[in-house]
Homo-oligomer: A and B are copies of this chain.
Amino acid sequence: MEQIKQAIRQMISVTDAELEYFLESCRTELFSRKSYLAEANKVPDEIFFINKGIIRTTIDNKSGKENTLHFALENQFIADYSHFILGQPALYNLIAIEETEAVVIPRKSIEWGYQNMTEGDKLGRTIAEFYFIYQDNRIKNLYARSPKERYDEIEQVFPNIHNRVPQHMIASYLGITPVHLSRLKKEDR
């Protein structure tokens, strides 16, 4: 639990006692490759913090295919956070790409934190702001950058992604087909 403690301490001031109590109801879990941390159509009641490994967030489009919307790496929080907040069935699947070790934070811990930790709401605000900025940047890139440009910049957002994730998942994240990404790479040569 050292990694998550450090991550929280980077965002807020928190006593050892608060942190201990907060993490008491959390558990560390190991997920094998291709296993699901969370599934669409189920109300998400947990947030995950990745100690080691890599996760992708997917949505099934109506033609039955799977779009990769997001990757989550070490030391990041991940969930279908929208539907966690709304308390509604999720739209997204969370799937382990590599074998992944994650801290599983149940909803009741989060709520306890908001109500009892001195800077609990500030922690929630900081995390929401962080992902707001991430998404904002994302949307900006989808509008103002070409797929090739997004491809060339992806390492800045997800370091070393090319060695950890199959290319067709990256293509999906970029919003293009694997065939098209292959073609764009070819043009570089």
Which of A's residues lie within 8 Å of B, judged by CB?
59, 61-62, 67, 69, 81-82, 85-86, 91, 114, 119, 121-122, 124-125, 128-129, 131-133, 135-140, 142-144, 175
User: Looking at A81, A86, A114, A144, which has the most chain B CB atoms within 10 Å of its CB?
Assistant: A144
Give the complex CA separation of A144 and B85 in angstroms.
22
- Asked whether, in the complex, the Cβ of B132 is within 8 Å of the Cβ of A132, the reply is yes
- For the complex formed by this chain, how many copies does it contain in all? 2
Kindly list 10 other residue pairs between chains A and B, CB separation below 8 angstroms, not including A128-B132, A135-B135. A62-B144, A67-B144, A69-B140, A81-B132, A82-B133, A85-B132, A119-B121, A122-B125, A131-B132, A142-B142
* Chain B: minimal CB distance from A89 (Å): 14
Contacts of A124 in B (CB 8 A): 121-122, 125, 129
